[in-house]
Amino acid sequence: MLTKPRYSLRDLLLWTRLELLAFIVFSAIVTALYRLLDLSFLHLPWAFIAVVGTAVAFIISFQNNAAYGRIWEARKIWGGIVNTSRTWAMKVKDMVGDDNAESPVGGEELLEIKKTLIHRHVAWLSALRHAMRQSKPWEEFALHRTNREWQEQLHIPEKIHSLEEELATYLSDDERERVLSKANKQTAILALQSEHLRKLKQRGLLWEFAFLELENVLEELFTLQGKSERIKNFPYPRQYATLSHLFARLFIVLIPFAAVPEFSKIGHTFASSWPLIADQFVWGAIPFCVLIMWLFHTMERIGRVGENPFEGSANDVPISTIARGIEIDMRQMIDEKADDIPGPLPEVYNVQM
């Protein structure tokens, strides 16, 4: 997620440079056909274009509002994951003990049990964020050249390291093989957590109330996982996305056919006073057309890249950074050595990943 106060105009122009060039060329061609070849039939009523533009503006506004709603809901879900994860670490730290055990165990074994529960939770975070980063057929962020250029500079962890590599750090070999054999790996990890809690209760290392409390935390994690998966697996309705894209393109194509004749008429109004300027005034339609085309295209594209908040764009929910922050908090809570705990993920161009 972008952390600097705002996009600069330079960033937006660089991001849309290919389309901007196309707009300039197209506007120049239409203007040249009208002015040099006297193809005056290339004319559409400005009132018609205004009606189309109003309709397109409403559609793009609806798309952008829906996209922002999906991003904001995803951020709230992962905010809930942050809080629930800290709750899990706190309860594991203070509720796992041998006070009620028939055969008390040593402090080292208790510490190892707590460490296992914490590390397994980090494995769950890893599996969940890898699932969120998987490509879906309706996701198109990576299909655009400038989007790929931006994404490649961010070095998104899930694009660099496989889930198998990351799970090897937090799970035993047997658990890792079991998890990787399942279709929904994050669900399999939470199931392992529940099984482990049951065994601890049977050994007397968790008393009944503590067992139920920790199971309730797992239930909440399942709920948050399901909400995150819902946003990932249910796209912004494609009929709206397709119509918004097509209508915006149609409006952009039509703009020069209304603007160029209008600029020609404006030039004729002061032909007697400034004949040289009046004769060439029609060329002023080019920057006017390009500006309107660029504005509508950029707004529509912003909505398009915001539809799926886990693809890895600059404005997505920074799940990799959030997960690393959770890991640091949890492992510090059980007093692991500072050298064993990874540091925060760096920001790249003021963007969290």
In 267-319, the DSSP E strands lie at: none
pLDDT digits over 93-151, tens only? 999 988 877 777 878 899 999 999 999 999 999 999 999 999 998 888 877 888 887 77
Reply yes or no on whether the pLDDT at 3 is more than 70.
no
How is the chain split into domains, by residue range? Answer: 9-340
Print burial letters for 95-112: b (CB count within 10 Å at least 16), e (below 16).
bbbbeeeeeeeeeeebee
| The two three-digit tokens of residue 107, written as one number | 């402090």
**pLDDT at 11 (0 to 100):** 78
For residue 313, the SS3 value is coil
pLDDT digits over 4-52, tens only? 555 677 878 888 899 999 999 999 999 999 888 877 777 888 888 999 9
pLDDT digits over 239-296, tens only? 888 888 899 999 999 999 999 988 888 887 776 677 677 678 889 999 999 999 999 9
Count Cα atoms within 13 angstroms, Cβ side, for 234.
8
| The two three-digit tokens of residue 157, written as one number | 């962890």
For residues 63 and 71, give the distance between their C-alpha atoms in angstroms, rounded to a whole number: 12
Question: What is the rounded average pLDDT of the residues 286-308?
Answer: 92
Contacts 24+ apart (CB under 8 A), 155-164: 155/348, 155/353, 156/312, 156/320, 156/353, 157/320, 157/345, 157/353, 158/129, 158/130, 158/133, 158/312, 158/320, 159/133, 159/312, 163/126, 163/127, 163/130
How many Å separate Cα 270 from the centre of its chain? Answer: 52
Q: Phi then psi for 82, rounded to 5 degrees?
A: -60, -50
Residue that has been written with the tokens 């050298």 in this structure = 339
Exposed/middle/buried for 240, CB within 10 Å: 0-12, 13-18, 19+? middle
